[in-house]
Structure 1
């Protein structure tokens, strides 16, 4: 679930105080962010103005489920069916970091 930004600029706001995600939140990509497959890199990337974030497989799987319909709890459950073990706290930390950077938005369940 590492985020590896490449490109001209990096977002300086890595955290916002008080930003957390709850099990009932329904995360979705912000309007200015796109998840797409990079043929050059042969992996999923997150496109943000002037930044390309290379995702590992787990990070891409999480973001594919961030469609505004799945709750955080449902995302964790779905990942549990795909992988042997899913550290719930790591998924929540990953989502919290993306919300703090304003790459994800959350709606209440």
Structure 2
């Protein structure tokens, strides 16, 4: 994972809060992926303008936590494998 690359959602997906599910979801033509709270908070920050370090720093500040880097990186690798995100070069 390039530390300066910036994750952004694939154009095929739409990220939104779904009141009926009480969760963030990824909508796509064939269906929907219901996200847990952690996944929703990470993907909310995948706007193409922040690199992984900035996303981790923002999450750690928002949730008064430390050491989230490995978990965020693991999630982003899984999200990339699922084709939910792509990487904008630095």
TM-score, length-scaled by structure 2:
0.89
- Equivalent positions of 1:1-109 (< 5 A) are 21-83=1-63, 84-109=65-90
1:22 CA displacement: 2.6
- Whether the 8 Å CA contact 1:26–1:107 is kept in 2: the answer is yes
- Whether the 8 Å CA contact 1:79–1:86 is kept in 2: the answer is no
1:86 CA displacement: 4.3
| 1:86/1:45 CA distance change after superposition, 3 Å | farther
TM-score, length-scaled by structure 1:
0.74
Give unpaired runs (5+ residues) of structure 1: 1-20
Number of residue pairs matched?
A: 89
Give unpaired runs (5+ residues) of structure 2: none
